[in-house]
């Protein structure tokens, strides 16, 4: 509140006296304030009464009457509504994401005393460090099952961005900026993997994958060059996340993070970033027995959903 008052006048109303407040008694005053304001900032979320060591959360929704508060105040607001979420873990805010009256959603974790993001003093450049699942995800994920891989026979959907393929509120690595960045990947079109174990050189398995213990990992590395350009009107930082996906088939993992780097670019400037790729680590998968394999065929390096580069991995005779 003090930070906002440095920029403009404010009308402050408490909608809930605690995160698990179970009454809408104070909502009327909050709605009245929103009707007067040119813009409304709603700060909601969790605290250590909900998430802390030795205490498990019972759901992914906003606790108490906070969801009703957000919806009512957003609908009453005369101007745009900005939703600020304070939490250490994900929250299912699908209702707010769908609400056209809410113009921005900002997750701040458990922040320090100063930010500057709301008024553009600071350009946000962070990425979500976890997947934000919908509340319905919990119905299929018992806390007694820590398996990462999905199990279609039981309906278990799997865990983490590497294995889970269902709907999400926001994916791992998601994050917006007040500017725009373009990216271009430059990397080799193919990689040849030598066989160092003569005993398995003629194995039928080598037509689909090579076990990492049967090759020389020391010679299997290359650089991926990414040209990042700030094509917007504002200086900003960009967290560059590079993922790899194995060829289509029986491999359970759909993708994995293979490298990341953060760059700060002035508006209109460009920078080349190099991410090192270790084939045995970054283009491999681990089967259910814990054995690491390098699948043969077309792998995909990608940044987000739109910037992709194909690398064909083949056996070197």
Query: For 237-285, what is the HEC assignment?
Result: EEEEEEEEECCCCCCCCCCEEEEEEEEEECCCCEEEEEEEEEHHHHCCE
Residue 179, pLDDT score: 96
pLDDT in tens, 171-212: 999 999 999 999 999 999 999 999 887 666 566 556 789 999
> Contact at 8 Å (CB) between 183 and 227?
yes
| Residues of the chain below pLDDT 70 | 113-116, 198-206, 251-252
What is the CATH number assigned to the segment(s) 2-122?
3.40.50.1700
- Is domain 181-316 in CATH 3.40.50.720, yes or no? no
Domain boundaries of the chain, sorted by first residue? 2-122, 181-316
Residue 198, pLDDT score: 67
Q: Which residue, 181, 141, 143, 142, is CA-closest to 163?
A: 141
pTM over 0.85: yes
Residue 287, pLDDT score: 86
């Amino acid at each position: 509140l003090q930070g906002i008052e440095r920029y403009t006048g404010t009308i402050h109303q408490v909608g809930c006296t605690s995160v698990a407040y179970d009454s809408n008694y104070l909502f009327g005053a909050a709605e009245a304030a929103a009707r007067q304001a040119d813009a409304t900032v709603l700060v909601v979320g969790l605290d250590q009464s909900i998430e802390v060591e030795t205490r498990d959360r019972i759901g992914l929704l906003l606790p108490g009457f906070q969801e009703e508060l957000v919806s009512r105040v957003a609908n009453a607001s005369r101007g745009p509504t900005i939703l600020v979420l304070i939490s250490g873990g994900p929250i299912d805010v699908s209702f707010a994401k769908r609400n056209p009256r809410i113009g921005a959603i900002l997750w701040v974790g458990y922040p320090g005393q100063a930010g500057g993001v709301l008024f553009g003093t600071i350009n946000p450049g962070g990425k979500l460090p976890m997947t934000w699942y919908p509340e319905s995800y919990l119905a299929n994920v018992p806390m007694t099952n820590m398996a990462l891989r999905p199990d279609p026979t039981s309906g278990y959907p799997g865990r983490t961005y590497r294995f889970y393929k269902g709907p999400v509120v926001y994916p791992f690595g998601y994050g917006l900026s007040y500017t725009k960045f373009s990216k271009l990947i430059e990397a080799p079109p193919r990689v040849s993997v030598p066989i160092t174990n003569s005993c398995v050189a003629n194995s039928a398995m080598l037509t689909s994958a090579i076990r990492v213990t049967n090759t020389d990992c020391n010679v299997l590395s290359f650089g991926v060059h990414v040209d990042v350009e700030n094509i917007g009107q504002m200086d900003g930082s960009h967290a560059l996340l590079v993922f790899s996906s194995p060829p289509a088939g029986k491999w359970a993992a759909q993708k994995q993070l293979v490298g990341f780097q953060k760059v700060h670019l002035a508006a209109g400037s460009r920078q080349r970033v190099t991410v090192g790729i270790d084939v045995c680590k970054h283009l491999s998968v681990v089967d259910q027995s814990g054995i690491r394999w390098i699948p043969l065929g077309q792998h995909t390096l990608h940044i987000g959903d739109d910037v992709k580069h194909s690398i064909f991995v083949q056996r070197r005779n």
